[in-house]
Amino acid sequence: MAPVWSMVVASTVVFHLVEPVLGFWRMSCSVAQMGRVDPVISFGHVSQHVHKISGASNININSTYDSLVAAPCTSCQIQADKSAYWNPQLYYLHANGKYEEVYNGGMAVYYLGRGMDAAGGTKASPFPKGLKFLSGNNNARSYDANTKTYGNATYPNVPVADRVTFACIDYNNPKPQAHYMSDTNCPDGMRAQIDFQSCWDGASLNFVLNNPELSQKYKIRAITRDVNSEKATKLNGKVEVVQGDANDPASLKAALTSADQSHVAYLSQIDNGICPPTHPILLPHIFIEVLYSTGDINQDGGKFVFANGDETGYGFHGDFINGWDIPVLTSAINDCLIGVESGVVEECPAFLPSDDTNFAKTCPETSPVYPCEPVHGIIDKLPGCITPTGFNHVVIPSDNTW
């Protein structure tokens, strides 16, 4: 069987290329690390659940821009990109209670010139040093049709939940995509896909969770659908609007700890459109595909579950920390998000000095420094002692974890 990191690009169904694209590049990545590491949400702490990470080889719980760019290599094709990208790992819960890792060899990362046509020819700006963000709602177990992007009459809004899609790959019997794991009987693999935010407020580099002193700098907007009412609650002297009942601590905690990241925002149609006036700076649009070898699993009456306990797929999410060589990224934006329509890395001059087609061998997977726990193969429980949850379940996360 060919390594999945090489199959990801070859198996790509042209899904997000139906809209006009000024240009893009498509970068293959192998695995850098797999473990409970998440320096976006759990900086300095062990993460609640396991992620499979691509990018800088030295990724750890304390990673910053400066530490990432100092990494000896990256598990992605473009060595000038020492960014880190990650998603929750997928497992299969067998009828005997054992969990089996579902193989995937990395991801395909797309950088697309979206939103630039709607902005009247305005080019995207490079990511600033220190920028980090995530896309998705770890706690979602149902489709949220109510929380929507910014939009107007020309560029209408859409549900934010549309950022996550799943494709059940069967070359002999093509199937429609869905926003959850609607079909896992996929002979050629199941591909999880997620769009990231493309609009920045120009001020904040990160979102701060569960820190009363710093949280007042951010607008917390929860996107959990499992709470029923919308009220205002005061947080350190500032009114924050959340979905949740201020009189119900469990409901309120679910809302606050599943908060969206207010320093970045989605385009009006997520993968195209306009930025809201509160987030006027257009960034390159990141779209990630992860192909899981679900067809290799003996599905003996069990079920697939992500490392965060999500049995549905609605809670799929992705994280990003910028680790780009800024001059290289700037040149690529100027020359390749405008003129290169093939997506081929080698056709972008800015990448030629750092293009490494042997990245999977030159930058192999490493083990996390800690915690030391089994995450590969067949294991007795989900790391972090996560309990699987299904459709419409209200998820109450632990403090400082995602």
- What DSSP letter does each residue of 125-186 carry, written as one string? PPPPTT-EEEEE-TT--S---S-B----SSS---BGGGGEEEEE--TTS----BSS------
Q: Write down how long the chain is.
A: 402
With the CA atoms of 223, 229, 235 and 239 taken in that order, what torsion angle do they form, in degrees rounded to the nearest 10?
100
Q: Answer for the pair 241, 211: CB distance below 8 angstroms, yes or no.
A: no
- Residue numbers of the chain with a pLDDT score lower than 50: 1-21, 209-260, 398-402
Task: Report how far residue 200's alpha carbon sits from residue 202's, in angstroms, rounded to the nearest whole number.
Answer: 5
Measured from the Cβ of residue 35, the count of other Cβ atoms closer than 10 Å reads: 26
- Counting DSSP H helices and E strands in the chain, the numbers are 6, 21
pLDDT at 119: 59
pLDDT at 333: 94
Name the residue among 271, 239, 311 with its Cα closest to residue 91: 311
Structure tokens at 293: 């070898």
pLDDT at 71: 98
pLDDT at 36: 96
pLDDT at 244: 35
- On the 0-12 / 13-18 / 19+ scale of CB atoms within 10 A, 163 is buried
Task: Report how far residue 346's alpha carbon sits from residue 209's, in angstroms, rounded to the nearest whole number.
Answer: 40
Structure tokens at 181: 């794991």
Q: What predicted TM-score, i.e. pTM, was given to this entire model? A: 0.83
DSSP β-bridge partners for residue 270: 267
Dihedral sign, CA of 343, 27, 179, 42? negative
Query: Exposed e or buried b for every residue in 131-147, given b needs 16+ CB within 10 A?
Result: bbbbbbbbbbbbbbeeb
pLDDT at 258: 35
pLDDT at 16: 45
Rg of the Cα atoms in the chain = 20
pLDDT at 207: 63
Measured from the Cβ of residue 353, the count of other Cβ atoms closer than 10 Å reads: 11
Name the residue among 35, 12, 338 with its Cα closest to residue 169: 12
